[in-house]
Amino acid sequence: MGPSMPPAAPVTWPLLKAPPTPLPQRRLGPFSVSAIGLGCMNICHAYGEPVPEADAARLLLAALDAGVTHFDTAALYGFGVSETLLGKYLGVHRDRFVLASKCGMTGVDLRGDGKRVRVIDGRPATLKATCDEALQRLRTDVIDLYYLHRWDKRVPIEDSVGALADLVRAGKVRAIGLSEVSAATLRRAHAVHPIAAVQSEYSLWTRNPEIAVLDACRELGVAFVAFSPLGRGVFTSSPPDPQALHAQDIRRAMPRFAPEHWPRNLALRARLVALAEAVGCTPAQLALAWVLTRGEHVHALPGTTRVTHLLEDLGALNVRPGADVLAQLDAVFAPGAPSGARYNAQGEDEVDTERF
């Protein structure tokens, strides 16, 4: 069993919805999971210094105790650290949740000096080797949902998906997913092996999936998993200060946080805050509730490092914004309203998603 954890302090935001019990469920491929899952990147990757291991353990176990049954990690996150933490603290509870991880984008020591560089590699042999390593770190003999983290455009999608299908036949993976792909690529992949889920960035200020992928997923019976549904922290009660971000924070390279774009985006956030106050919830809860209204096949996958924020996020499942509020959100955050691209040039080149 995992370590005993003290109760979390309450969130001080005055309009806080508590999580429902039990959490509402949605279909994720062959599985039924909580409509809001937990993305496990933040605990060790991308947003500054990794949190202390005890804090990561507290978060993971609190999520499980709160009824979260969808945990999402990747080989890339902390170059294996996130998978290792899930294996260490949730491995003994393996029958209580659906485990998702990703391959195809990992850290490689290219110079032989111990410093890893992020590499996209979708070759079949690489994907299979990454899976074997992940199974060891996760302390399990099967991964429920295994995503291709990024499509390696040097490798036909059919070849990469074929390798994942081999893992299904070998009993190492139960279902296959894709991340940050277009509707056309999804259809090509689905013709090789059924795709259970597509995971892409989707939020009030990143609505690219509405161009084609959301509808393609609905048509094919594929779940859509929205990562960064809180706009990389912008829609939380304490938005980031771009000037104070950690030197290793990936948002430093994202145009929307640059000085020439940030004031306009902060003004958009203020409109969200006002609407949340009118609804009677926090801005994060309204942003998550909006995502979940986009279709019964849509899942929200926020990430956090704090138990209080986790419980706040789950409270979004008790928020029911009316049609007028949803219409106002759609208008305020219409495509083109946010200032700046979501990724820099390199990041945009690495994804396969449609763009406005």
Q: What is the CATH number of the domain that holds 134?
A: 3.20.20.100
Classify residue 280: in a domain, yes or no.
no
| Residue 194, preceding peptide bond in cis (omega within 30° of 0) | no
User: Using H for helix, E for strand and C for coil, what is the string for the chain?
Assistant: CCCCCCCCCCCCCCCCCCCCCCCCEEEECCEEEECECEECCCCCCCCCCCCCHHHHHHHHHHHHHHCCCEEECCCCHHHHHHHHHHHHHHHHHHHHCEEEEEECEEEECCCCCCCCEEEECCCHHHHHHHHHHHHHHHCCCCEEEEEECCCCCCCCHHHHHHHHHHHHHCCCEEEEEEECCCHHHHHHHHHHCCEEEEEEECECCECHHHHCHHHHHHHHCCEEEEECCCHHHCCCCCCCCHHHCCCCCHHHHCHHHCCCCHHHHHHHHHHHHHHHHHHCCCHHHHHHHHHHCCCCCEEEECECCCHHHHHHHHHHHHCCCCHHHHHHHHHHCCCCCCCCCCCCHHHHHHCCCCCC
Q: What mean pLDDT do residues 39-61 have? A: 95
| Residues 6 or more apart in contact with residue 237 via CB below 8 angstroms | 11, 13, 282, 283, 284, 312
Q: Is 77 assigned a catalytic role?
A: yes
On average, the pLDDT of the chain sits at 94
Mean pLDDT is lowest, of 9-13, 57-61, 106-110, 302-306, for 9-13
Q: Specify the pLDDT at position 9.
A: 44
Classify residue 60: in a domain, yes or no.
yes
Classify residue 222: in a domain, yes or no.
yes
Q: Specify the pLDDT at position 348.
A: 95
Percent of the chain topping pLDDT 90? 90
**Which member of 77, 89, 147, 202 is catalytic?**
77
The domain tally of the chain equals 1
Classify residue 148: in a domain, yes or no.
yes
Q: How confident is the model at residue 7 (pLDDT cuts 50, 70, 90)?
A: very low
Classify residue 110: in a domain, yes or no.
yes
Classify residue 59: in a domain, yes or no.
yes
Q: What mean pLDDT do residues 305-316 have? A: 97
pLDDT tens-digit map of 169-220: 999 999 999 999 999 999 999 999 999 999 999 999 999 999 999 999 999 9
Range of the domain at 29: 25-232+291-320
Q: How confident is the model at residue 13 (pLDDT cuts 50, 70, 90)?
A: low
**Pairwise CA distance, residues 306 & 55, whole Å:** 8
CA distances for 47 relative to 44, 142, 191, 284, 346, angstroms: 8, 29, 37, 18, 18
Q: Specify the pLDDT at position 15.
A: 75
